[in-house]
Amino acid sequence: MTWIWSNLDLIWDRTFDHLILSVPSIILSFLIALPFGWLAHRYRASRAVILTTVGVLYAIPSLPLFIVLPFIVGTSIRSPLNLIIALTLYGVALMVRVVADGLGSVDRDVQQSATAVGFSGWTSFWQVELPLAGPVLLAGLRVVAVSTVSLATVGAVIGAQSLGSLFTDGFQRGIQAEIIAGILATVLLALALDAVLVLIGRLLMPWTRRSAIGVVARPGAVARQEVTT
Amino acid sequence: MIEFHSVTKRFPDGTLAVDDFSLVLPSHKTTVLVGTSGSGKTTLLRMINRMVDPTSGSIEIDGADIGTLEPVKLRRGIGYVMQNSGLLPHRRVIDNVATVPMLRGMAKKKARDEALALLDTVGLDRLLANRYPSQLSGGQQQRVGVARGLAVNPNILLMDEPFGAVDPIVRAELQQELLRLQRELGKTVVFVTHDIDEAFLLGDQVVILRTGGKVAQVGSPAEILANPIDEFVATFVGADRGKRSLHLENHGDGDIVVDETGRLAGVLVGSGPSASPSTVSSESKAGPRGPGASAQGGDSR
């Protein structure tokens, strides 16, 4: 415990480093996954190709990727940018499928009625489909956030500073408190980011909180499938 | 006025939904397309706002071929009300109603003010304006749907089985509301239903469709009831089962109107016990147009 109290500054610095690595990765993976997820959702032919590719992407082990990536993109191996790119790739790999599924989850009746009253394709995407896919997107983004925070620790092995550095340093110097501090801080950071996402979700999607009862009670939600004359 | 000229629709899977359909739908009147599943009624309706384009033939609105019009622009000028209301679940009631005027470029404030007034028109409390659709009952959602359909003050209102998913009491209420609105607003309404009673109640002109979008009979409710053109129509309107032939029976407490199947259809009111033709026509069920509304209360579904 005394180690933690006397090294709060260090823990705080590493937490900040960790944020610098994970937050941009989470945001970038969401933005990059959007168009690919949309393509996979929209065009049947592209779906299999895109989803298989991102599946393979996620299967690449992280440590080798951290080491190989600098040779491909030309960054230094310890550069935060290297890590951000790698973390973004993993985030995209998770998120593309979520975007495709999220857009697919939007009620077809609602889409049809949006078209019928005069939404054009793009307006409908931004004002109807994307917001209605919101709850699914948020669920996916929460997984991405937690997984990115945890993956970012691996960077410590190749020398990129993060909360993971507290484990590696603690192991090398035999300071148990430092290891525990690293683990705790990582978990807390993941929880904090998750809480922020939930909060953003509440602010952006106020209708999801109020409709819990109504959605279940809505009649015809099941029956409407076959009513196409 | 909406005119269908030899319209045929064959879907990519080969289904012939509509076959050589021609019809004039007069302005400021309600035309009801009624038929069973697969009769092409919804397809016909959706052709009017180009949700579906015909394989051959043409459709004209006030003399203009809609095939030459831009679909999105066309749709923004036509009211559309569908089953399950089709409201946007993530927008409040008022924003749902204001949606189309805002798509057409109206300022938010003005669109919302007009939306509030429309809630009055369709008989909804303004207190509901800030709720989300899922917080409303099915009947209220449907009223919001009608308000949204009226929001751009369109000449044409398309209604695709709008009251199909609400219970019979609410449905009857909504039907009366629609009749009241129609008396006040005089839109060109195209209404799709599979319920013949609803068709006879609401329609100035009723179009009975057979499978494959073929017209079985077109006419006013009275014409069709009095003269079903063939067996199919007679079956469809229930005339073959005696549902439409009513007579009086005296049950001690008063005269009861009974159909040929023995089902009690209602009581005779307004004309006293001396009104004695022993058979009255069920035509009077056709609502305000019927002669003096003599038989009441029969829900012959």
What CATH number should be reported for the domain holding residue B66? 3.40.50.300
Per-residue pLDDT tens digits for B182-193 = 999 999 999 999
Q: How many residues does chain A have?
A: 229
Categorize the per-residue pLDDT at B81 as very low, low, confident or very high, splitting at 50, 70 and 90: very high
Higher pLDDT, B75 or A217: B75
Residue range B132-145: average pLDDT?
91
- Residues B200 and B177 placed together within one structural domain of the fold: yes
* Percentage with pLDDT > 90 across chain A: 48
User: Quick check: is B252 in a domain?
Assistant: yes
Give the residue on A whose Cα is nearest the Cα of B157: A117
Q: Which of B235, B256, B274 is the last residue of a domain?
A: B235
Per-residue pLDDT tens digits for B16-27 = 899 889 999 999
Per-residue pLDDT tens digits for B269-290 = 765 554 444 444 444 444 444 3
Residue range A40-51: average pLDDT?
90
Regarding an ipTM greater than 0.95, the answer is no
The predicted structure's pLDDT at residue B265 = 80
- Residues B172 and B275 placed together within one structural domain of the fold: no
pLDDT at A49 over 70: yes
**Chain B window 47-106: which residues touch A at a Cβ cutoff of 8 Å?**
49, 51, 72-73, 75-77, 80, 82-84, 86-91, 99-100, 103-104
> Across chain B, what does the average pLDDT equal?
85
Window from A81-85, B110-114, B116-120, B130-134 with minimum mean pLDDT: A81-85
Q: How many domains does chain B have?
A: 2
**What CATH number does the domain containing A167 carry?**
1.10.3720.10
User: Quick check: is B240 in a domain?
Assistant: no
User: Quick check: is B301 in a domain?
Assistant: no
The DSSP-derived string for B220-289 is -HHHHHH---SHHHHHHHTTTTTTTEEEEEE-SSSEEEEETTS-EEEEE-SS-TT---SEEEGGGGGGGG
**pTM of the predicted protein model:** 0.79
Residue range A123-138: average pLDDT?
94
* Percentage with pLDDT > 70 across chain B: 88
**Most confident of the ranges A29-38, B252-261, B271-280:** A29-38
The span from the CA of B134 to the CA of B116, in Å, is: 19
Q: Which of B217, B235, B253 is the last residue of a domain?
A: B235
Categorize the per-residue pLDDT at A146 as very low, low, confident or very high, splitting at 50, 70 and 90: very high
User: Quick check: is A74 in a domain?
Assistant: yes
The span from the CA of B243 to the CA of B300, in Å, is: 8
The predicted structure's pLDDT at residue B39 = 87
The Cα-based distances of B107 to B17, B111, B286 in angstroms read 41, 6, 43
User: Quick check: is B150 in a domain?
Assistant: yes
Shortest Cα–Cα distance, A158 to chain B (Å): 46
Shortest Cα–Cα distance, B136 to chain A (Å): 8
Output the CA angle A208-A201-A48, nearest 5 degrees.
90
Q: Which of B214, B235, B256 is the last residue of a domain?
A: B235
- Residues B164 and B184 placed together within one structural domain of the fold: yes
Shortest Cα–Cα distance, A106 to chain B (Å): 11
User: Quick check: is A114 in a domain?
Assistant: yes
The predicted structure's pLDDT at residue B292 = 39
The span from the CA of A214 to the CA of A109, in Å, is: 17
Residue range B218-237: average pLDDT?
89
Residue range A189-202: average pLDDT?
95
- Residues B227 and B189 placed together within one structural domain of the fold: yes
Contacts of B132 in chain A (CB under 8 A): 207, 210-211, 214
pLDDT at A94 over 60: yes
Q: Which range marks the domain in which residue B213 is found?
A: 2-235
User: Quick check: is A195 in a domain?
Assistant: yes
- Residues B148 and B291 placed together within one structural domain of the fold: no
* Percentage with pLDDT > 70 across chain A: 91
Residue range B246-267: average pLDDT?
79
* Maximum C-alpha span of chain A: 74
pLDDT at B151 over 50: yes
User: Quick check: is B257 in a domain?
Assistant: yes
pLDDT at B242 over 80: no
The predicted structure's pLDDT at residue A191 = 96
Contacts of B133 in chain A (CB under 8 A): 214
- Residues B147 and B37 placed together within one structural domain of the fold: yes
- Residues B177 and B286 placed together within one structural domain of the fold: no
The predicted structure's pLDDT at residue B278 = 46
Q: How many beta-carbon contacts under 8 Å exist across A and B?
A: 103
Q: Which range marks the domain in which residue A188 is found?
A: 2-204
* Percentage with pLDDT > 90 across chain B: 54
The Cα-based distances of B59 to B4, B46, B55, B153, B205 in angstroms read 5, 11, 12, 22, 18
Residue range A145-160: average pLDDT?
89
Higher pLDDT, B150 or A70: B150
Shortest Cα–Cα distance, B157 to chain A (Å): 11
Tokens of A115: 């078209």
**Residue of A110, A117, A127 to mutate, testing the B interface (most B Cβ within 10 Å of its Cβ):** A117
- Residues B63 and B150 placed together within one structural domain of the fold: yes
Q: How many domains does chain A have?
A: 1
User: Quick check: is A83 in a domain?
Assistant: yes
Q: Which residues contact B246 (CB under 8 A, 6 or more apart)?
A: B257, B258, B259, B265, B279, B280, B281, B282, B295
- Residues B134 and B262 placed together within one structural domain of the fold: no
Q: Establish if B140 touches chain A: CB-CB under 8 angstroms.
A: no
User: Quick check: is A134 in a domain?
Assistant: yes
The predicted structure's pLDDT at residue B270 = 65
User: Quick check: is A214 in a domain?
Assistant: no
Higher pLDDT, B158 or A209: B158
* Beta bridge pairs of residue B81: B159
pLDDT at B293 over 50: no
Contacts of B101 in chain A (CB under 8 A): none
Closest Cα partner for A48 from A95, A97, A106?
A97
User: Quick check: is B108 in a domain?
Assistant: yes
Shortest Cα–Cα distance, A229 to chain B (Å): 5
Categorize the per-residue pLDDT at A140 as very low, low, confident or very high, splitting at 50, 70 and 90: very high
Output the CA angle B243-B249-B254, nearest 5 degrees.
120
* Beta bridge pairs of residue B34: B193, B208
pLDDT at A89 over 80: yes
The Cα-based distances of A20 to A25, A26, A92, A178, B199 in angstroms read 9, 11, 18, 21, 65
Residue range B240-253: average pLDDT?
75
* Beta bridge pairs of residue B264: B258
- Residues B108 and B162 placed together within one structural domain of the fold: yes
- Residues B174 and B290 placed together within one structural domain of the fold: no
Contacts of B86 in chain A (CB under 8 A): 109-110, 112-114, 116
